[in-house]
Amino acid sequence: MVFVSLSGGLGNQMFQYACGLSYSKRNNETLILETSELQNDGKRTYALGAFNINNTCISSNPKDLSFFKKVSLGIFGNIVDIKEKVEFKFDSEFNQIKGQSRLIGYWQNQSYFEAFKEDIISVFSLLKPGKTFCTLSEKYNGQNTVSIHVRRGDYVSELHTNQVHGTCSLDYYKEAIKRIETDNPSTKFTYLIFSDDKAWSKEAFSFLQDKEIIEQLTDAEELILMSQCEHNIIANSSFSWWAAWLNKNTKKKVIAPKKWFAKDLHDTSELIPQNWIKI
């Protein structure tokens, strides 16, 4: 049995789940999700419910459960905490870990789960897509679309978050658009813009003629609609990282920011897949 301690927003929880799913399949273990960290987070809540996930979810550290609750879940013996050693860096010893474990960390490296990509794509599909999502998905199906993700929100409004993460500049987006169009000179693209600051995005991207600011979708719906675009321009955000990673277009071009943090606090050289373009 493997437990995954969930924390952070949707993108972070997807990394944690993907790592846990990979562990469970590799070792033939049951996967259980734990939300104890989220219970104490005033901003984040369990965000995976929009996907086709049917794993058992518990709100407490499994070590703190009563004997009878443990028995009912099939928990026997010790649970070993497996903590991520270095953020964004793949731990080559991870795949040798076996037994009843509890995964603690963000696990933001595709090497932890890439071997089970098809399973992950299947799980991270919408459980109940809404009417607006279905309309947009059908409208742009087969079209030459490029998603643009603009993450502002707490990256702008919260001083500490801004100092750590920063935001992608408009110059970054213009350079990314230029790269997409240069590589596809005979193609006319429609740009779908996804942002938590739609007013800023509407003004900033006024130079684009064929575009749509996406509105009235849930976070999960936005992520999946982004993944359905032909190409992706992502922000320094795990949210749009996942949209690009789930994109099944074999000829996709993904543009990602070379600088993931405002300050060089982490080595993120393994975060961006090698076939993505860093600007």
Per-residue model confidence as pLDDT tens digits over 66-118: 988 999 988 888 999 999 999 999 999 999 998 899 999 999 999 999 999 99
Question: What are the tokens at 97?
Answer: 């870990």
The answer on 137 and 38 residing in a single domain is no
The answer on 84 and 59 residing in a single domain is yes
Q: Supply the pLDDT for residue 76.
A: 87
The answer on 135 and 240 residing in a single domain is yes
Distance CA 77, CA 45 (A): 30
Q: Tell me if residue 194 falls in helix, strand or coil.
A: strand
Distance CA 144, CA 274 (A): 24
> Would you give the DSSP letter of residue 93?
T
Residues 6+ apart with CB under 8 A from 95: 26
Q: Supply the pLDDT for residue 160.
A: 46
Residues spanned by the domain of 144: 131-278
Domain-ending residue, one of 88, 123, 158: 123
Which CATH number does the domain housing residue 201 bear?
3.40.50.11350
Nearest C-alpha neighbor of 29 from the set 85, 93, 99, 88: 99
- In 166-265, which ranges are continuous DSSP H helix? 170-183, 198-204, 219-227, 238-246
The answer on 270 and 136 residing in a single domain is yes
The answer on 151 and 226 residing in a single domain is yes
> Would you give the DSSP letter of residue 94?
G
The answer on 109 and 60 residing in a single domain is yes
Backbone phi and psi for residue 140, each to the nearest 5 degrees, phi listed first: -100, 5
The answer on 73 and 157 residing in a single domain is no
Question: What are the tokens at 36?
Answer: 């104890």
Distance of CA 86 to the CA centre of its chain: 19
Domain-ending residue, one of 77, 98, 123: 123
Distance CA 101, CA 251 (A): 38
Q: Supply the pLDDT for residue 134.
A: 98
Mean residue pLDDT across the chain: 92
Average pLDDT over residues 164-177: 85
Residues 6+ apart with CB under 8 A from 256: 234, 241, 244, 272, 276, 277, 278, 279
Residues 6+ apart with CB under 8 A from 230: 143, 144, 145, 146, 189, 249, 251, 252
Most confident by average pLDDT, 41-50, 233-242, 253-262: 233-242
**pTM of the predicted model as reported, rounded to 2 decimal places:** 0.93
The answer on 144 and 91 residing in a single domain is no
Distance CA 34, CA 122 (A): 21
The answer on 94 and 50 residing in a single domain is yes
Domain-ending residue, one of 59, 93, 123: 123
The answer on 202 and 260 residing in a single domain is yes
Question: What are the tokens at 272?
Answer: 């961006």
> Would you give the DSSP letter of residue 126?
B
Indicate the number of domains in the chain: 2
Would you say residue 63 has pLDDT above 70?
A: yes
Q: What percent of the chain has pLDDT over 70?
A: 95
The answer on 232 and 167 residing in a single domain is yes
The answer on 140 and 76 residing in a single domain is no
User: pLDDT per residue over 238-264, tens digit each?
Assistant: 999 999 999 999 999 999 999 898 777
